[in-house]
Amino acid sequence: MNDYRYKVTAAGRINIIGEHIDYCGGRVMPAAISLKNTVYVRPNGTNTINLSWTTLPDKVTLDIDKLESYKGLKCGNYQAGSAYMWQRAGHKITGCDMLHDCTVPFGSGLSSSAAIEVSTIAALATIAGEPLNKVEIALKAQQAEREYAGVNCGIMDQFASACGKKDSVMLLDCNTLNCEYLPLRLGDYSLVITNCNKPHNLIQSKYNERRSETEDALKILQRSVDISCLADLSLMQSKSYTEVLPPVLKKRAEHVVGECNRVRKATIALKAGNIEALGKLLNESHKSLKELYEVTGREPDALVKAAQSHPYCLGSRLMGGGFGGCTISLVKSDCIDEFKEFVYNEYFSETGYKAEFYDADISDGITVTSTF
Ligand code: GLA
């Protein structure tokens, strides 16, 4: 790795609260974590991007003049899509060798894809000698996910991956992209990330389906109330206006309005150091994801139930797109080992799956180090 010129990283992310509302214009509370994708990059003087991986034997060569043609690649799809979107936005792509090293577990709901997309673009910008505009990088990375990888995602993951700050959670307004950083002060408590390890292959289609349901709900509501996105609907308004929606759309809209409200309350709780209140909000969020948004499933529900039943856990919920992946739990710091053992055993006896725990700190988003 010493013969590469730069080491560029972008982070995976957790999300404290605010799930499935980024694409409805809501505010969300993610944070970048120390599980990340690293790109070692050097110019190669050719018209190609040569990709290799520390953990895979594959080697892939992308022709810079044909970047739009690699959709669906088994290996390198995110890199190709990101390079293409960056090029389409008018940026120069320099021929280079990229070695990728990803420590974000794939399909875990911790945004490995965003980490790959964001670090790929940051590496291309670095090698071309461009100043890094992290917000623009996040937006182009999101476009790669949507138009190249086919997941009609919101902006939360790519924004957190690019713009996260060490030891801070972000309060990101997904409508305006205004972002406030709050120190993550949890007193005697810590966050525990747990993977339910259930493979989830329906995520892409189900995710896109949920998103279009919220768009349908918005269109119907706009006939009677002046809102530009679902997050504009207040809790009060939603009580009367959502009555006109078909039952499924009503549930989806109720989740969005409720979750936006929980983010508001969580912000107050975090600022006041009221960790117990924050924990309750995590539990409410999971209930809503399960009953109203219907993006959980047997295994994530069992994992959350096990965590919530532990006496030193203040709250637990599923994170990310859903249908599998990781949960986040708020646990008394000096009881974490006991908590892990308890949850592992309960979850295993309920489902037969082995839960996995990740140690991660809250970290910076993009970082660039010159290796010379
Ligand atoms: C995925 C998407 C995000 C967001 C979450 C759910 O991680 O990429 O944009 O919608 O799901 O909150």
d(C-alpha 306, C-alpha 350), whole Å: 9
Measured from the Cβ of residue 48, the count of other Cβ atoms closer than 10 Å reads: 16
According to the model, what pLDDT value does residue 202 have? 60
The side-by-side arrangement of strands in the sheet containing 179-183 is 27-28, 168-173, 179-183
Give the pLDDT of residue 17.
98
Pocket (CB within 6 angstroms of ligand 1): 19-20, 22-23, 111, 153-154, 156-157, 320-321
Where b means 16+ CB within 10 Å and e means fewer, 112-147 reads bbbbbbbbbbbbbbbbeebeeebebbbbbbbbbbbb
3 assigned to active site? no
pLDDT at 1 over 80: no
Structure token digits, residue 148: 């190249």
Mean pLDDT for 179-203 is: 91
Per-residue pLDDT tens for 219-235? 999 999 999 999 999 99
Q: Cα 138 to chain center, whole Å? A: 12
Cα separations in angstroms, 282 against 179, 200, 290, 330 = 21, 22, 12, 9
Is the model's pLDDT at 277 over the cut of 70? yes
- Round the CA-based radius of gyration of the chain to a whole number and report it: 21
Overall average pLDDT of the 160-170 stretch: 98
Strand duo 6-15 + 367-370: pairing:
antiparallel
Record the pTM. 0.97
Mention every residue, 6+ apart, whose C-beta is less than 8 A from residue 322: 19, 20, 109, 203, 206, 207, 289, 293, 295, 296, 297, 300
* 15 CA closest ligand 1 atom index: 12
- Residue pLDDT, tens place only, 117-138: 999 999 999 999 999 999 999 9
Q: Whole-number mean pLDDT of the chain? A: 96
- Please determine, for residue 183, whether its predicted confidence score (pLDDT) is greater than 80: yes
* Helix and strand counts by DSSP (H, E) for the chain: 10, 13
Is it the case that residue 371 has pLDDT exceeding 90? no
- The residue type of 233 is L
21-40 burial, b for 16+ CB within 10 Å, e for fewer? bbbbbbbbbbbbbbbbbbbb
pLDDT single digits (tens) 44-88:
999 999 999 999 999 999 999 999 999 999 999 999 999 999 999
Q: How far is the CA of 154 from the centre of ligand 1 (A)?
A: 6
Which pLDDT does position 344 carry in this prediction?
A: 98
Check the CA dihedral 236-238-244-248 and report its sign. Answer: negative
Can you give the pLDDT at residue 201?
65
The span from the CA of 47 to the CA of 50, in Å, is 10
Q: How far apart are CA 165 and CA 160, in angstroms?
A: 9
Residues 6+ away with beta carbon under 8 Å from 266: 16, 17, 18, 29, 278, 281
Q: Is the pLDDT of residue 187 over 90?
A: yes
Distance 81 CA to ligand 1 centre (A): 18
Collapsing DSSP states into helix, strand and coil, what is residue 9? Answer: strand
Distance from C-alpha of 283 to C-alpha of 193, rounded to nearest angstrom:
15
Mutate-to-test residue for ligand 1 from 207, 208, 214, 215, highest number of ligand atoms within 8 A of CB: 207
Q: Closest residue (by CA) to atom 1 of ligand 1? A: 321
Which of 157, 232, 301, 364 is flagged as catalytic? 157
For range 180-206, the mean pLDDT: 90
